[in-house]
Structure 1
């Protein structure tokens, strides 16, 4: 599947495969190991995990056992959302890299601008302190690129005004009907790649009749059209599944949606999903 070998170029020149395999809510152990091995065997070369997922060790083992050269697989992990101090950030990175056991990571993200139990609270000062640690890790070559997740325009502006390295990625919730236009436009303007997690709205899109009607024209599934839509918007999709057939289906998106069908999907934003 050629799209699995296509790449976006980050602002620092690092290339990142255009589709990532997400591992959120996949438990550590055989579930994660088998899913990641299946994804790699299918042709995925970009695996997304996080300290908070608790499955980094299984991700790392699956990558090591895959037989694929380490430099040919792109690994993302994330600093926990509740960590907002330099010592905590350093410790989290050490724990993540030890669990993965894959050497330098390819992308390290601040998981959210606030702790999950205090969404929307103000941690701008803490994010700046954590980002300075990220800049040190990046300068040392411990991570090839750095970024953020769940950051709004205001969060990004606060961070970049007080630091030196512009985030190379912002990973946000992004799917048909929920396209975060303000944040997306800002990131594209600044050269920050947008990654879209939950590209199927954690399964909710699969029953959508409008998307199903479009999918029928192409002989594709709702999932495939939904993932293709992100790619045509220059958003990097991070589909997740533990089912081998769906892992393969989600990557089989080497087709082109017409401008008319993209516009029809755009219109679903106003109506909501």
Structure 2
């Protein structure tokens, strides 16, 4: 299995300014994420950034990094520039790891890469975990995914899907027994050929309505396969509360540190 990991790291962040360089037990967040990703089977891990300070931090910690344009509307567009810069062949597998995932499980990276290699008809693979709490099902910030019998994504939504008509007929907010609801996890593997074409794909009505970039691929007829993981991975860092949680976890568990 041969693949590379690219970590888009944009300097601007509304809720946590300078997020990629925030300190986590002595390491910048994006550096810690890259070290975790390097524990996967990736043959190459690199950071794609739009800021010289992030480029410098990567160099200080001996991590490969590329400077990319600052005007990319999405992280996927930034990956597309990396693919072009590196002249990757269309069949190359590129795993997108978000820079704010310092506790990412390297085995999950391997799983989405392997799933893409097993399915030549797929442009993208991702992963999802069972929803076990009603609050998650009804949370618009928790993206849900439904799949066919081959684990190909049929739809992603912020709405509670699938909808348990009978169990929720009274307007209650609960999990119906046996409901096959899954929480989408934002880890993706792409074929380089798809990434090259992505910037030319127009956002569709579904993407604009749900504000979910992956719907662009589905609307354009590309297949997305979903790796089912039995448990939720450690959450990323989006807020100051998340940052405090991860810092406390690293303080209590030094073995989590990646070398």
Question: TM exceeds 0.5?
Answer: no
Structure number with the bigger relative contact order (C-alpha 8 A, sep ≥ 6) is 2
Considering fraction of residues, name the structure with more strand: 2
Give the TM-score of the pair, scaled to structure 1.
Answer: 0.30
Considering fraction of residues, name the structure with more helix: 1
